[in-house]
Amino acid sequence: MKKICLVGFLLLTACIPPNVEEPISINESVVKKLTIVNSPLSTEAPFYIAVYQFSDKTGQRRPSEVVAHLSSAVTQGAETWLIKALQDAGNGSWFKVVERVGLENLTRERQLIRQTREQYEGKDAKPLRPLVFASLILEGGIIGYDVNTISGGIGARYLGIGPSTQYRQDQVTIVMRLISVQTGEVLLNVATSKTILSSAVGIDVFKFVDAGTRAVEIETGLATNEPVNYAVRAAIEAGVVELIQEGARKGLWRMSE
């Protein structure tokens, strides 16, 4: 019996999927040490960059084997993670992000301030400072959400008792393109992916008792699902890192460690 249990344990261990390689994080020291020392672009660092939207272009609904979900598979507010990643790049010395996602609200608030000042102060009303314009625009979005790219499982049972394990791997893909406002030229275009790993481990018991006339069945288990939101954030952060490194390779800027 010990030999059989050992074989079952080895089979289950071999079935466990390998650790998924984590993408480069925007918060790692390798990014914080990068500084621009020269640039052929029209402006020097920090670059003023605009993010209008970074939307879900997959149209995917949350996967389910039972019912059809109406909620989306990935976040609809990915531009929040993109803005955060741009602000963190180079410890804040690379990009200055201007507000464009809520530009309508910003314009309306500025108009309200202007009208109120003119109403109470007349012609001597203090004008508002002009909005900062961007020299670069970052476009793109989530273009892929692939389900069950890898799936599998295994189980072993001896005398009605045994463990089992299952796993599934999904993948999310994002693209980014950096555009020059002055010329409209697409300066850089990168794509990054992040895997989403789900696994489940369980033990079940199925035995007959009372002279084989009654069956007893017990099941227990644990499932772990990697958050899709984290995967999207990690893919965006890796994309910003790749964007910076690709710009250095193409001579858009030079970096010093």
Q: For 42-60, what is the mean pLDDT?
A: 80
Give pTM, 2 decimals: 0.75
- Comparing 16-30, 67-81, 219-233, the range with the smallest average pLDDT is 16-30
Q: Is residue 186 part of a domain?
A: yes
Q: For 6-23, what is the mean pLDDT?
A: 45
Cα separations in angstroms, 36 against 45, 161, 171:
6, 62, 33
Q: Is residue 257 part of a domain?
A: no
Number of domains into which the chain is organized: 1
CATH number for 46: 3.40.50.10610
Q: Please, where are the H alpha helices in 89-201?
A: 103-121
Q: Are 240 and 176 in contact (CB under 8 A)?
A: yes
Residue in the structure block whose two tokens are 């804040």: 92
Cα separations in angstroms, 205 against 92, 164, 218:
56, 11, 5
Q: Is residue 37 part of a domain?
A: yes
Beta-carbon contacts of 230 under 8 Å, excluding residues fewer than 6 positions away, are none
Q: Is residue 59 part of a domain?
A: yes
- The pLDDT score that the predictor gives to residue 229 is 85
pLDDT tens-digit readout, 146-172: 888 888 888 887 777 888 888 888 889
CA 133/CA 182 separation, integer angstroms: 11
**Residue 202 lies in domain:** 2-11+26-251
CA 89/CA 256 separation, integer angstroms: 14
Q: For 207-216, what is the mean pLDDT?
A: 70
Q: Is residue 239 part of a domain?
A: yes
Q: Are 158 and 11 in contact (CB under 8 A)?
A: no
Q: Is residue 18 part of a domain?
A: no
Q: Is residue 96 part of a domain?
A: yes
Q: Is residue 256 part of a domain?
A: no
